[in-house]
Structure 1
Amino acid sequence: MSPSAESMLLEAYENGLELGNRHEVDESGWDFLVLHATAADGTPWILRAPRRPGEYLKAEGALLDHVRPHLPIAVPDWRIHTDTLIAYPRLPGMPAGGTWLPADDRLGRSVAVLHALPTEPIEALGIPVLDPDDQRKWLIGRLETAIREFDIPDEKVRRWQDWLAATDRWPQDMVLARGDLHPQHLLVEGGRLVGMIDWADATISDPALDFIDPYHYLTPAAFDRLLADYERHGGHVWPGMREHIALRASFGPVIGGTFGLATGRDDLVAEAREELSRGR
């Protein structure tokens, strides 16, 4: 059964958390229904309910505990964790928004810290491992589906096919990639990054995954600073990394469109159809 605000509030109450009747529902996420609510003592809480069951929930909670001591920013501290509900006190800050320009180096520093963590203990937590061949095969499958279902210019298809076939253009060293660094998942105060939420997409995989969203929403100059901050704090910037990031970023409508086809999300299919039909 799909989650609802009522089912989430009831489960929170059954787990000892009594929340007021006033709440705000956020239905924008692909994977979770989110509820903003306030406890009797005035503490604001975030409730998340998975739209589909998944074992990754346990791994996400363990990962948060693992990375928390290393990061210069806050991450969620889960107080309720069941198969159908996550609840934690709301972190400080507000979602960055699509026009955010970082006021300091915390984003680049945080990504560098994550990429430097040893991966064996993280793999033991249950975080998925996606080696370069696995990633390429998965993306090739998505592209084959998109070619069948959407009208995509030949030049665009060839560019993606060449990139996916060129194994030497893919990094071989896998890292803890937070993934999905969308502005809505970054909490800021006065332009400064203070927190990261929604870690369900974390994998041990391509470090470029943590630059795809910033590539879209940062100005070119701000993106240059992000890569410089990342490198200054120990991140590895290899020759061809920027092009690799740009190609992964351009592939987003393929992923979104095929996800929409698989889950019945007509809005995602329509959005992908429009974007994929463009010449570049």
Structure 2
Amino acid sequence: MREHFEVIRRLVGEVPVTPLATGLDHRVYAVGDGLVARFGPGAGEEAALLAAVAPRVPLPVPVPLAVDAAAGCLVLPRVCGVSLLERPSPERGRFASAMADFVAAVHVLQWPAPLDETPPSAWLAEARETWPRVRDLVPGWVEAFLENDAPASVAPCFIHGDLGAEHVFVDGDEITGVIDWGDAALGDPAVDHGRLMRDFDLDFGERARFYAICTALEDVAYGREPYVTNAVAALERLART
């Protein structure tokens, strides 16, 4: 952590730095009153991606103000408001149309992102492995779903890769930022559609429903609150989709 503080102060000067969040492969700090510093792999590539994406999509995307690629550090403007994961699912409906327009714009972007070759069959295998951990927490119909075959692979396009409600921030009725582009790749567009189907009750069809169910099971098995409650509620809805 001390090394991170030194990198931040070298980039932005002597300002207060406070730990904010920790993920599987990243650490985030509040920097002064209006910035955040994010440490993780691929910082240089993500900085270039954010600068390219921001002017080409219909919702705000934070653009780095300073980068230390060697240290894995991005300094970005802090997105105001709260994550939509903290809002009850019915309240998210007012943002569903904007998210549908946003993902459509993302999927036509041309960018040399890494290729995600994970086949749907691998998603299904992982979901089956998690079943013993979640069977007492989720609706019973899920077991029958897991007996089905996975959908076939499709041609990849540019995707956000982790477009869940936790990465969409709002202030009142305004979306203030779509964050965390570290999983952006050339992949199956239904990966993005599935998370939107899970969290925003959008309907992108059966292929997206497959990913919606798989990601919900992952959150139930390995997530914390409010991820677990959100995922269980999504599975209740997905039974009727």
Is the TM-score greater than 0.5? yes
Q: Partner of 1:248 in structure 2? A: 211
Choose 1 or 2 for highest CA Rg: 1
Residue correspondence of structure 1 range 109-148 to structure 2 within 5 A: 109-118=101-110, 122-123=111-112, 127-131=113-117, 134-143=118-127, 145-146=129-130
Q: Partner of 1:62 in structure 2? A: 48
Cα distance, 1:7 vs. partner? 3.4
1:29-68 deviation line (CA, Å, top 9, x unaligned): 3332211221xxxx51111123xxx3x3333222112212
CA contact (8 A) 1:107 1:193 kept: no
1:86 aligns with 2:74: yes
| Helix, strand or coil at the partner of 1:48 | strand
Distance change in 2, residues 1:151/1:213 (3 Å)? closer
1:140-195 deviation line (CA, Å, top 9, x unaligned): 55246446x7475997455234231x42xx5x232211122232311223322232
CA contact (8 A) 1:102 1:192 kept: no
Counterpart selection for 1:208 from 169, 175, 190: 190
Q: Partner of 2:59 in structure 1? A: 73
Cα distance, 1:16 vs. partner? 4.2
1:44 aligns with 2:38: no
Q: Distance in 1 between matches of 2:220 and 2:97?
A: 34
Q: Which ranges in structure 2 are unaligned for 5 or more consecutive residues?
A: none
TM-score (norm 2): 0.74
CA contact (8 A) 2:116 2:187 kept: yes
Identity among equivalent pairs (%): 19
Q: Which ranges in structure 1 are unaligned for 5 or more consecutive residues?
A: 225-240
Q: How many residues of Structure 1 are paired with residues of Structure 2 in the alignment?
A: 223
- C-alpha RMSD of the superposition: 3.5
Cα distance, 1:111 vs. partner? 0.9
Counterpart selection for 1:32 from 26, 34, 50: 26
Cα distance, 1:137 vs. partner? 4.3
CA contact (8 A) 1:74 1:91 kept: no
Q: Partner of 1:232 in structure 2? A: none
Distance change in 2, residues 1:257/1:128 (3 Å)? farther
1:68-125 deviation line (CA, Å, top 9, x unaligned): 221122222221233332211223444233323335843222111111223xxx22xx
